[in-house]
Amino acid sequence: VSRRVRVNPIACEAHGMCAELLPERITLDEWGYPIVDGRRLDGELLEHARMAAKSCPVFAVLVEEE
């Protein structure tokens, strides 16, 4: 299975933790909301993505399988 990071934009409140924990896939726009790169996650990046998901105060970061 390949996994990708996704953000629930309704839940997101622009805390910005995800961009610090997963800068390879998430950057912030000028308002502080995440711009997500949906390429697949492997190895260490997958670990970082899971950490970002766990650390989001509003649980807006999702690691999705497809």
Partner 1 sequence: MNAPPAGLPRLLTGIDPDGPLSLQSHVHVHGPLPHLPRARRRSSPLIEELERAGLLGRGGAGFPAANKLRAVIAARGRPIVLVNGVEAEPLSEKDRALLERLPHLVLDGAVLSAAAVGADEVIVAVRESLGYAAESVERAIGERDGITLTLAVVPDAYLAGQETALASYLSGGQLRPTFTPPRPAQQGVDRRPTLVNNVETLAHVALIARHGAGWFRALGTEQQPGSGLVTVAGAVRRPGVYEIAYGSPLRGLLDAAGGVSEPVQGVLVGGYAGAWLAAERIASTALDDASLAAAGAAMLAGVIFVLAERACAVRETAELAGWMASQSSRQCGPCVHGLDALAGEIAAVAEGYGARQPALRRIDRLASLTAGRGACGHPDGAVNALLSALRTFAPQFEQHARHGACAACARPGELVLPSWRLPEPLGGRARVS
Using CB under 8 A, pick the residue from 31, 44, 65, 66 that binds partner 1: 31
Cα torsion 58, 62, 63, 66 to 10°: value is 160
- Whichever of 43 and 57 has its CB closer to partner 1, that residue is 57
Question: How many residues belong to the chain?
Answer: 66
Minimum distance between the CB of residue 43 and partner 1, rounded to whole angstroms?
Answer: 27
61/11 Cα distance (integer angstroms): 9
Binding to partner 1 in span 32-51, by CB under 8 A: 32-33, 35
Contact positions vs partner 1 (CB under 8 A): 8-14, 29-33, 35
